[in-house]
Each structure stands twice: as C-alpha cells, then as structure tokens.
C-alpha cells in the first residue's frame, strides 16, 4: 500500500517538472532497466500484482504495449485472455447441490403447515417414504434402506401415505 501511495506522490510531483527533465529521467530509468535485464536470470518471476498492473495499464493506454521491456507484449495479452477465461469460468460454474428454494415459497409452506395441522403427519410420512422406501435411480433402483429379499410367502400390499403408494412385502 505504501508503494502505491509513494508512486502516486511521485506522479503528482512529476506534473510540476519540465518536459526536458522528464525526458532525461525517462532515459535514465530505461537505461537502468536495460542494465537490470542484462543481470537478471533468463527467466524471472512476476507476482500476480505485477501482472495485474501491467494488464491494467495496457488496457487504459494501449500505446504502452510497444514500450514493454520486461516481458513480450504477447505475454501481457495472453495473461489478459487467461484472466478473462478464469473469470467467466468462475462466473458460470456449476453450483453443486440442491437448488435454493425461494424464501417466499418456504414461508408459504410453513404457513400452510401451521394452518393445516393434519399436514404435519402427512408431510413427515411422505418424507420418510421419499427418503427410505421409494426406489432410487442412483442406487440402481434400490431403496436407500436395503431390504432383504424374501423368496417365500404371500405378497401383501402395505398402504403408505393413506393408500397413495404401497409397499409390497412377503409374510
């Protein structure tokens, strides 16, 4: 944060310098950069902030792309494309899990449940049927609570949910 404030202060101070002074300073800084690049290892690492700053500045001032000395101009464009791709991949990610139920719908269901006390037993019975007894495609059409297969005996239909569904067992 201090470095950004320092750079901003230097920028404001540069507004009051003469044009020839700025040109000489620019030449001096470019020469220092050439010396630093000569001494630098063949490949140096830039931080994410460095990359973001280079991308931001070339987006605001496209003419700077030709003045880049530290990296190739194509590299900055590649970083920008990669950042764009990551952003949209994040934005359109598949949110796993059950979709959220609207708050109004949940309030309506709760209100109707309070107003109709008989529903509580029916809803609990349906939830038990749904989670325990019904067949599931993900479980190769077996119920979550596995039942042992009985090979002999008479088949009897046990009504579930007031006769809406039946569970068939042997006795």
Annotated domain spans of the chain: 2-91, 119-170
**DSSP assigned state of 153:** S
Query: CA angle at residue 127 from 140 to 135, to 5 degrees?
Result: 15
**This prediction's pTM:** 0.31
Each residue's pLDDT, cut to its tens digit, for the chain (171 residues) gives: 777 888 888 778 777 778 877 777 777 777 777 767 776 666 667 778 777 877 787 787 777 776 666 677 788 788 888 988 988 888 887 777 777 788 998 898 888 878 887 777 777 777 777 777 666 655 566 666 666 777 788 888 888 777 777 877 788
Burial of 35 (0-12, 13-18, 19+ CB in 10 A): exposed
- What is the pLDDT, as a whole number, of residue 163? 77
Count other Cβ atoms within 10 Å, centred on residue 167. 15
């Amino acid at each position: 944060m201090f470095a950004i404030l320092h750079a901003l202060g230097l920028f404001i101070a540069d507004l009051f310098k003469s044009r020839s002074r700025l040109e000489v300073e620019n030449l001096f800084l470019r020469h220092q950069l050439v010396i630093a690049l000569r001494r630098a290892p063949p490949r140096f690492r830039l931080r994410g902030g460095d990359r973001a700053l280079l991308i931001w500045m070339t987006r605001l001032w496209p003419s700077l792309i030709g003045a880049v000395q530290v990296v190739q101009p194509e590299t900055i464009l590649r970083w920008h494309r990669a950042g764009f791709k990551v952003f949209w991949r994040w934005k359109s990610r598949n949110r796993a899990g059950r979709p959220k139920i609207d708050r109004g719908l949940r309030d309506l269901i709760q209100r109707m449940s309070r107003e109709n006390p008989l529903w509580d037993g029916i809803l609990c019975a349906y939830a038990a049927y749904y989670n325990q007894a019904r067949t599931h495609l993900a479980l190769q059409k077996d119920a979550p609570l596995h039942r042992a297969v009985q090979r002999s005996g008479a088949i009897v239909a046990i009504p579930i949910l007031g006769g809406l569904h039946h569970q068939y067992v042997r006795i």
